[in-house]
Structure 1
């Protein structure tokens, strides 16, 4: 691979990063807060590609025709991340990963006020932390609405799950809510549900890491489409 080819690969990789950052594609790889850094990386790669092409053109003009020294063949490996980014859009992690990882639920430093609404819209992490560590004190008498995907353990017990990110999809871990009450007759793993229900003090332990998994008493469910950002970023706050 000569310098001009390297510049072309850098340009294409930078353009692919800009495309991912300008659309929802980047959410399959990193959390939403890293979008500015992803876009900046794309700009830097494109600038490096332009500078490399300009420098090589000037150098060729000064030295005139001659024998080119081939670059190491290993440099063609630069194409691999480019092809992966363009051709492969990995699905979000689902029930298979969730059931093989322990809950990432952690005790928060404090609880903010509940959002307005009836039912109250809460994330999986927010409900689980209030129920498990806050003992439901802020939830008494308030119906809640939570959205996540379904996971069924070996005994068929249903969980509402959201994979939580610290940085990127590689470190995603599940936060789980066990479901009881009025459930659909057919439960399909990885299906996304909007669940309305009320707090119950019932609690179970995750068989993987013995972490707390609170229950939610379901009063109604509604199937929904997977959100553009399938991950939750608030587990460590």
Structure 2
């Protein structure tokens, strides 16, 4: 792969990054706050590629085919092997175009129930000052799974008692085949994603297959279970109603 070919691959790669960032596909890979950095990185790759292509194609940038540089021993400036053939650059460099095609042509699914089943639930931690602010006014109040689990386990549900909450996540198999509500939590990108799981209690059961996205409305339950993968505490929600929804634009917490 010569320099011109490398520049073309770099141009495609930069364009794929910008396209994924502007169309929200990047949310399958990283957190939303990284959007400006990805746009800047893609733009720099495109600019570097364009400048390289211009330099390679400008008049006078390459010697004529008939001209050869000779050293003092009568040899030209091209390298030859023992059979008189010019050396070739490895074609394996063209494999770099595969991830580019992946970004351009394939929209991968977000991490789901399989990933949640292979990893233990996030071990929730208490607030630094052990003081949880009251929930916003209105019922049901939308709340993240991680926030609900933290309040339920470390605040004993004090800020949840008497309130109706709405949780959004996907269905994941739980212990003994019981369905659980789960969502992946990212520190940076999908590679470090860990699930937060909330058990579903109450008289209303969520009858939906794994990986189905649902909105669940319910109230605090004092039941606490254990994740069989890492023995982390798992909070429970007493379900009052639920409905199937489409996957949200931002699938991770």
Do Structure 1 and Structure 2 share a fold, with TM-score over 0.5? yes
Distance 2:108 2:239 in 1: 32
Asked if 1:89 corresponds to 2:107, the answer is yes
Asked if 1:28 corresponds to 2:28, the answer is yes
Asked if 1:109 corresponds to 2:128, the answer is yes
Whether the 8 Å contact between 1:195 and 1:222 is mirrored in structure 2 is yes
2:242 corresponds in structure 1 to 221
Q: CA RMSD in A?
A: 1.9
1:8 corresponds in structure 2 to 8
Larger Rg: 2
| Comparing 77-86 and 136-145, the one that deviates more | 77-86
Distance 2:102 2:203 in 1: 43
2:214 corresponds in structure 1 to 193
Asked if 1:65 corresponds to 2:64, the answer is yes
Whether the 8 Å contact between 2:31 and 2:186 is mirrored in structure 1 is yes
| Comparing 63-72 and 16-25, the one that deviates more | 63-72
Tell me the TM-score normalized by structure 1. Answer: 0.90
SS, match of residue 231 in structure 1: coil
- Structure 1: unaligned runs, 5 residues or longer: 233-237
Distance 1:23 1:166 in 2: 22
Cα–Cα, structure 1 residues 64 and 194, in superposed 2: closer, same or farther, change >3 Å? same
Whether the 8 Å contact between 2:110 and 2:251 is mirrored in structure 1 is yes
Whether the 8 Å contact between 1:105 and 1:129 is mirrored in structure 2 is no
CA-to-aligned-CA distance 1:174-227 (integer Å, 9 cap, x gap): 000000113347331111111111111110111111111011001111111110
CA-to-aligned-CA distance 1:57-90 (integer Å, 9 cap, x gap): 34x6144313787543232122122022123222
| Comparing 7-16 and 149-158, the one that deviates more | 149-158
| Comparing 84-93 and 64-73, the one that deviates more | 64-73
Whether the 8 Å contact between 2:146 and 2:196 is mirrored in structure 1 is yes
Deviation at 1:39, TM superposition (A): 0.7
Deviation at 1:14, TM superposition (A): 0.7
Tell me the TM-score normalized by structure 2. Answer: 0.85
Cα–Cα, structure 1 residues 174 and 157, in superposed 2: closer, same or farther, change >3 Å? same
CA-to-aligned-CA distance 1:147-182 (integer Å, 9 cap, x gap): 111112352212110111111111111000000113
2:199 corresponds in structure 1 to 178
Whether the 8 Å contact between 2:152 and 2:222 is mirrored in structure 1 is yes
1:127 corresponds in structure 2 to 148
Given the alignment, which residue of 220, 223, 227 partners 1:202? 223
Distance 1:206 1:154 in 2: 8
1:235 corresponds in structure 2 to none
Given the alignment, which residue of 183, 187, 195 partners 1:166? 187
